[in-house]
Chain A
Amino acid sequence: AQKITQTQPGMFVQEKEAVTLDCTYDTSDPSYGLFWYKQPSSGEMIFLIYQGSYDQQNATEGRYSLNFQKARKSANLVISASQLGDSAMYFCAVLNDYKLSFGAGTTVTVRA
């Protein structure tokens, strides 16, 4: 299995501030996809953002942006203007040959 590393088990952020969640991976395949998912306490997995390994520009989706540094095998998620509803577990994942491998996740708690 591929190794996906999320070094921050938990983070606190003040409402309306930005937060960056770290993710590194170790795939040797030149073609892969990077995903971030949000998992609220209810358990469902919500897709947030996708970056292809050949995409030249960093992906953005509303308040979510992905800081993709291919040479460093890093794909950090930036959440801008945090809201209370952003409190959840966040998972980084790498898709390679139909298999999606997940990191251990980072718990984000947004404080009012």
Chain B
Amino acid sequence: DGGITQSPKYLFRKEGQNVTLSCEQNLNHDAMYWYRQDPGQGLRLIYYSQIVNDFQKGDIAEGYSVSREKKESFPLTVTSAQKNPTAFYLCASSISAKPQHFGDGTRLSIL
């Protein structure tokens, strides 16, 4: 079945460590997105990419980095510069203005 796969489901980070969250889609969607969700709040856009080898900052990009080397993949790195990384991270993809399809998310916590 087509869909979006995020891994891992749970991730723990030590202080000063970079961690990478995986997002893979087989929907043949051009656009991919990363969102952060804090408890009891809505989603905030971190980065998005409309085509391969191109991406734009969202509203809260500081402390994060992405790459888009393949259409199917849009990994997110949470760097040590992100001082409050504990959150639920959701990846999504879409075609143009169509509804975004979401993965099941990754919960990141600090050890």
- Write the residues of chain A forming the contact surface with B, with a CB cutoff of 8 angstroms: 1, 4, 33, 35, 37, 42-45, 47, 50, 52, 91, 93, 95, 98-105
Query: Which of chain B's residues 18-68 have a Cβ closer than 8 Å to chain A?
Result: 31, 33, 35, 40-45, 48, 50, 58-59
Whether B105 pairs with A44 at a CB distance below 8 angstroms is: yes
Q: Which are the 7 A-B pairs with shortest beta-carbon distances?
A: A102-B42, A45-B102, A47-B99, A102-B43, A1-B59, A104-B42, A43-B105
- Write the residues of chain B forming the contact surface with A, with a CB cutoff of 8 angstroms: 31, 33, 35, 40-45, 48, 50, 58-59, 88, 90, 92, 97, 99-102, 104-105, 107
Residues of A within 8 A of B92 (CB): 45, 100
Contact pick for B45, options A43, A101, A105, CB 8 Å = A101
Whether B100 pairs with A47 at a CB distance below 8 angstroms is: yes
For the residues of A in contact with B, the DSSP-based class is strand
With A44-B105, A99-B58 known to touch, is A35 a contact of B99 (CB < 8 Å)?
A: yes
